[in-house]
Copies of this chain bind each other. A is one copy, B any other.
Amino acid sequence: MEQYLFGIDVGGTTVKCGLFRRSGELLEKWEIPTRTEENGRQILPDVAVTIRCKIQERNLKKEEIAGVGIGVPGPVMESGEVPGAVNIHWGYKNVAGELTEALNLPVRVGNDANVAALGEMWAGGGRGASNLIMVTLGTGVGGGVIVNGKIVTGAHGAGGEIGHAIMEPAEEEACNCGNRGCLEQYASATGIVRLAKRYLAAEYPDGGTIQAPAWLCAEKLTARDVFDAYKDGDSAAETIVRRFADCLGRAMAFYACVTDPEVFVIGGGVSGAGEPLLEILGRYYRKYAFPACRDAGMVLAKLGNDAGIYGAARLVLCD
């Protein structure tokens, strides 16, 4: 009986690994370093070695293992090939082919943000739903779209690239992707700081050194500072958080017109703001949502950095 699954999450500095039961139970997790030198050529061999060692150590039989799922930080084709992944120095790589050959086990490959969404569906905030959208508010805004229990990969591996929805066509600054006015420019951790700095510049043309709240003038202002002030009832923070929530809530209402999810799962560092974040986001989402979609759920991600290994393991069970 194929009762074990491996879930591998390749990041820029470490490769997270997990051994799971088919039920979703995490039996063990560990990490190995990501060797990005020489165009990251050692990364997949290292993954194969650590999996083989774990199989030996636990004395698992081959027929007990359903397969290996792996999430990588780049676009992934349906075939399991990766055209390139900048963070780990990869050019084109046939991930499924290489790993299958090295391990002689079924291998499934997915984009890391998409895979995290699948993990949250399997064992996290979206448990029980088979249609969901995960919105990851980190340095950028990533995401994953799940329809009928499967990742929507898209024709160019860009399914779930929801951070690059254009929210403000009149924006003058460019996003990392080259376009202007992407959601990421307002709703990522960096985007929130940007909104705060814009607020400061507009409301306190003198730089705010005298009258602006001290937290707002801090040189190393973070999104967390903004949310902390918001929770304390600071009115400047309220304005900034409202602008953020208006933009993100409107984007989420837009996504809902496309795939009409049961639930949105909010993850990433910014989601550490917790319930007050969900509350204001829900308010703006409902303001803009098509009536039939207004009662979509909104929950916090639960798996944190483990979402990737959960989702990678779950990939093996998709078809």
Bound: A256/B154 CA distance, A: 9
The answer to whether A162 touches B257 (Cβ under 8 A) is yes
Which one of B159, B163, B257 lies within 8 Å of A158 (CB-CB)? B257
Give the contact stretch, choosing among A28-36, A145-153, A235-243, A273-281: A145-153
Q: Check A162–B258 contact: CB distance below 8 A.
A: yes
CA distance A160 to B258 in the complex (A): 5
Which residues of chain B are within 8 angstroms of A158 by Cβ–Cβ distance?
Answer: 256-257, 260, 290, 292-293
Closest chain B CB from A292 CB (angstroms): 4
Interface window among A18-26, A220-228, A247-255, A305-313 = A247-255
- Are A161 and B290 in contact (CB-based, < 8 A)? yes
Which residue of chain B lies nearest to A247 when distances are taken between CB atoms in the complex?
Answer: B169
Q: Once bound together, how far apart are the Cα atoms of A295 and B155, in whole Å?
A: 10
Q: Is A229 an interface residue (CB 8 A)?
A: no
Known A-B contacts A154-B260, A260-B157; the reply to A169 vs B250 at CB < 8 A is yes
A158-B257, A257-B161, A260-B156 known; A169-B288 Cβ under 8 A: yes
Within 8 A of B (CB), among A79-129: 129
> Complex: how many Å from CA A133 to CA B178?
25
B292 with A262: CB separation less than 8 A = no
| Structural contact, B152 and A260, CB atoms closer than 8 A | yes
The yes or no answer to A48 lying at the interface (CB within 8 A) is no
Rounded to whole angstroms, the CA-CA distance of A152 and B132 in the bound complex is: 12
Task: Report B-chain residues with C-beta under 8 Å of the C-beta of A293.
Answer: 154-156, 158, 161
* Bound CA span A30–B133, Å: 41
A179 touches B288 (CB 8 A): yes
Q: Is the CB of B145 within 8 A of A292?
A: no
| CB pair B145 A259 closer than 8 Å | yes
Q: Which residues of B contact A290 (CB under 8 A)?
A: 158, 161, 164, 177, 179
Chain B residues in 8 Å Cβ range of A292? 75, 156-158, 161
Q: Tell which of B159, B291, B296 touches A177, judged by Cβ atoms closer than 8 Å.
A: B291
Q: Which residues of A contact B (CB under 8 A)?
A: 75, 129, 131, 133, 145, 147-148, 150, 152-166, 169, 177-179, 246, 250, 253-262, 288, 290-293, 295-296
Sample of 10 further A-B pairs with CB below 8 A, known A152-B258, A152-B259, A169-B250: A147-B147, A155-B260, A156-B296, A158-B293, A162-B258, A163-B257, A166-B254, A166-B288, A169-B246, A179-B291
Closest 8 pairs (CB-CB, A-B): A154-B260, A155-B262, A158-B292, A158-B260, A164-B290, A159-B260, A156-B292, A258-B258
